[in-house]
Structure 1
Amino acid sequence: MSTTVDTTPSTDPGRRRPDARGVAGDLLRSRELAVLVVLLLLVAVATFKSNGFLTGDSWRDLLLTPSILLLLAAGQTMVLITRNVDLSVASTLGLTAYATGELMSSGQSPWVAALGGVAFGAFLGAINGVMIAFGRVPALVITLGTSLAFRGFLLHWAGSDRVNASEMDSGFLALGTKQVLTIPVLTIIALLVVVAVGYYLRTARSGRELYAIGSDPAAAALFGLPIRQRVLGAFIASGALAGLAGVFFAARYGGVSSNAGQGIELQAIAAAVIGGVAIFGGSGSVWGAAIGAFLLVTIDRVLPILGVPDFYQQAVVGGLIIGAVVLDRFLASRAEHRLVAEREVTP
C-alpha cells in the first residue's frame, strides 16, 4: 500500500486503532493491489493465448528481465518520495557496469569488482545529491546534466572498445543464468534489496522523514528535519542501487559497451509512478514500484503475443503513466477537500 506520513501521536487517546475491516478496506483501495491485479490478468491472458508463456526460457526471462529494473525503481522511489527525480541512473548503470568489467579484466576478484561498482555508483549519486541538496538547484536540471556528463565520460573511457565475457570471471557470469527453484538468482537478490528498502522506508525514522519532506518541504523545515542530509542520502542510495544494477548488467549480458543501459531511466520512473509513487512526492511504496517494474516487462512480453504492434505497446505504457499521474492529482484533490470539510465541521 502507498505510504504516507502519520503525524498523529501514538499516545492520542482519541485515536482509533485500525481493525481488520479498516486494514482490508485500505488494502482494497491501494494502488499496489490494482496494479498487481492488472499484472496477473495480463499473465493469465498470455498463458491462455500461448501455452508456453510460463514454461522454460519464457518463465526465466519473465523473472530475470525485471531484476535490473527492480533495483533502479527502488532507488528512484526514494528520490521521488522527496519530490525530486534522478535522470542519471541509466548513465550511472553504464559507467558502473563498464567499471565492474574493467576491474575483473585487470585481475580483481568478482567481489572487489562488484563492491567497486556499487561504491562508484554511490559516488556518482553523491555528486547529484550535493548539488541538489546544498546547491538548491532543481533535480530535473542537475540529473539531466549529469546524465549527459556521465555518458560522455563513459564514451571517452570506453570509446569503441567493450569488455567481453572472456575477460570476466566465469563464476560471476554464472550469476546471470543461475537459478534456485526455477527463480533466477539475480531476481532473488533484487527482491531482497526491494524488501530491505521497503523495510527502511516504513520503519526507520530517517525513512519516514523522506515522506515528510516530500509531503510538505516547508513544514518539514519548520519542524527541524535535516532536509539536506535526507535528500543527499536518497540520491546516494539511488546511485548505489544503480551501481548494483550495473553489476547485474555485466553479469547478465557478459559484455559491456558504452551504450549500456541507455533509456532505462525512463522505465525506472515509469515503474515507480505506475506502481503508485507520487511524482509530486510524499507518498508511494517500493512494493508498488516493484510491481510496476514487473508490469512493464510483462506488457512487453504479452502485447506481441496478442498481435499488438510496437507503436501501440509504447502507447500503452505512456497511457499508464499519464493515467497514474492524473489519478494521483485526483486523489490528492479529494484528500484536500475532505480535510477542509473536516476542519469546517470540527468546532
Structure 2
Amino acid sequence: MSTTTSQIAPPRRSRLSGLLRARELPVSIALIALVGLTYAANPLFLSPQGTKDLLLNATIMIILAAGQTLVIITRNIDLSVGSILGLVAFGTGSLFANVEGIPIWAVFAIGIVFGAVLGAVNGLLVTLAGVPALVITLGTLYIFRGVNNWWAGGTQYFADDRPDAFGGLAVDTLFGFPIITLIAIVVVVVLAVALAGTRAGRDLYAIGSDPAAARLFGIAIGRRVFFAFLANGMLAGLAGVLYAARFNSVGATTGTGMELNVVAAAVVGGVAIFGGSGSVVGAGLGALLLTTITGALTALRVDKFWQQAIVGVLILTAILIDRVASIRTARRLKTGAASEEKK
C-alpha cells in the first residue's frame, strides 16, 4: 500500500506545482479579488445588467487579444488591429445600408475575409521585407486608418441602419451570456486547442522561443509567421463585425487607440512580450481584467486619469514579472546543465 501511495503522490504534487506556476493564475486571482472588492463597495456592480455590461465590454477585446497572442508568441506585434477593426466595422455598416436584404452570415464572411486580406498585407510585409513587425504595423496602422478616413469621411452608420436580428447579437442572451460573448469564448477555446494540440501551434511557440533553433529543426518560420498575421487579421475582422453589432454607430474614428489596449491585455494575461510563451486563455483573462478594472473604477467613481495610470502600472508589472521569470528559468536550466556535466 505504501509503495502504491509513493508512486501516485509525485504526479499529484507535479500537477499542483504546475497549477501554481500557471501564468493565468495571478490574473484569475486579481480578477476575482477586484470583482469581490467592488461588489462589497457597490452591490449594483454585479446586478444582472451590470454583469451583462461587463461581459459585453470585454467581448471585443477578448477576440482581439486572442489574435494578438498568435503574433506576440512569434516575437512579433501587430499595432494595426484597431485600424483593421475600424475598416471592417465601417464596411459592415456600409453593407447593411447599401445592400438590401444581405444575409447576416454573408456580412460575417465578408468582414472576416476583409480582415484576413489586411492581416495578409502585414504578414507579407513582415516576412518578405525582413523589417521588424513593430515598424511595419505602425505604418499600416496609419495607412489603414487613412483609408478609413477617406472612405468614411463624415459618414456614420447607426443602429437603425442594421437589421434588428444583427443588433440582437449584443442584446440577446443564451445560458445567461450575450451571444457575442459566447462567440468570443468559442474563439478562445478553438485557438487554445489549436495552439496546444497541433503542430502549427507548437511551431509558433518554437519560433518565439528560439528562431535559430526552429529554423534548424526545419520549421518554415516565414510561413508560420505569415499565417499568424493572417489569423490575427481574420479575428480583427470578426471583432469589427461584432463591434458594429455592439455599438450604436460606426465611422471614421472607430477603433482608434484600441491597439495599445489589446497589447496590454495580452501582456497582462501572461503572454511574454519577448515571445515563446503565453496562452489565448490568459490573454482573454487579461482583456476581461482590464475592462473590469475600468468598470470597477467607474462604479467607484474614480477619476479616469487614475484608471489609465492603473492600467499602465499593470502592464509594467506584467513585463517585469515575465522578465524575472525568464531569468529564473534560464538560471535553472543552466544549473541543471552544469549538474549533468558533473555526472
TM-score w.r.t. length of structure 1: 0.93
Which of the residues 35, 50, 53 maps onto 1:43? 35
Change (3 A) 1:23 1:305: same
Kindly report which structure 2 residues correspond to 1:111-126, keeping only aligned pairs within 5 A, or say none.
Answer: 111-126=105-120
Residue 157 (str. 1) matches residue 151 (str. 2): yes
Amino acid at match of 1:226: A
Kindly report which structure 2 residues correspond to 1:5-154, keeping only aligned pairs within 5 A, or say none.
Answer: 19-105=11-97, 106-107=99-100, 108-154=102-148
SS where residue 65 of structure 1 aligns? Answer: helix
Change (3 A) 1:18 1:297: farther
SS where residue 326 of structure 2 aligns? Answer: helix
Query: Could you tell me how far apart the structure 2 residues matched to 1:276 and 1:166 are?
Result: 40
1:112 Cα deviation from its structure 2 partner: 1.1
Amino acid at match of 2:160: S
Tell which deviates more after alignment, 149-158 or 18-27.
18-27
What are the superposed Cα offsets for residues 211-253 of structure 1, whole Å, 9 maximum, x if unpaired? 0000001111111101011000000000000000000011111
SS where residue 170 of structure 2 aligns? Answer: coil
| Other-structure match for 1:255 | 249
1:20 Cα deviation from its structure 2 partner: 2.1
| Other-structure match for 1:166 | 160
| Other-structure match for 2:187 | 193
Taking only aligned residues, the RMSD between alpha carbons, in angstroms, comes to 1.5
What are the superposed Cα offsets for residues 242-270 of structure 1, whole Å, 9 maximum, x if unpaired? 00000001111142111111111111111
Residue 331 (str. 1) matches residue 325 (str. 2): yes
Query: Could you tell me how far apart the structure 1 residues matched to 2:313 and 2:161 are?
Result: 42
Residue 216 (str. 1) matches residue 207 (str. 2): no
- Contact in 2 for aligned 1:49/1:305 (Cα 8 Å): no
1:182 Cα deviation from its structure 2 partner: 2.4
| Other-structure match for 1:244 | 238
Change (3 A) 1:173 1:305: closer
Percent same amino acid at aligned positions?
Answer: 48
SS where residue 44 of structure 2 aligns? Answer: coil
Query: Could you tell me how far apart the structure 1 residues matched to 2:297 and 2:285 are?
Result: 18
| Other-structure match for 1:281 | 275
1:307 Cα deviation from its structure 2 partner: 4.2
Amino acid at match of 1:236: L
Query: Could you tell me how far apart the structure 2 residues matched to 1:255 and 1:117 are?
Result: 17
Query: Could you tell me how far apart the structure 2 residues matched to 1:239 and 1:18 are?
Result: 44
| Other-structure match for 1:340 | 334
Amino acid at match of 2:247: Y
Aligned length: 332
- Contact in 1 for aligned 2:167/2:246 (Cα 8 Å): yes
Tell which deviates more after alignment, 305-314 or 83-92.
305-314
Tell which deviates more after alignment, 329-338 or 86-95.
329-338
1:18 Cα deviation from its structure 2 partner: 7.6
- Contact in 2 for aligned 1:101/1:113 (Cα 8 Å): no
Amino acid at match of 1:177: V
What are the superposed Cα offsets for residues 33-69 of structure 1, whole Å, 9 maximum, x if unpaired? 1110110011001111111111132111011111100
Return 5+ residue gaps in structure 2 as ranges: 1-8
- Contact in 1 for aligned 2:45/2:299 (Cα 8 Å): no
| Other-structure match for 2:6 | none
- Contact in 1 for aligned 2:74/2:207 (Cα 8 Å): yes
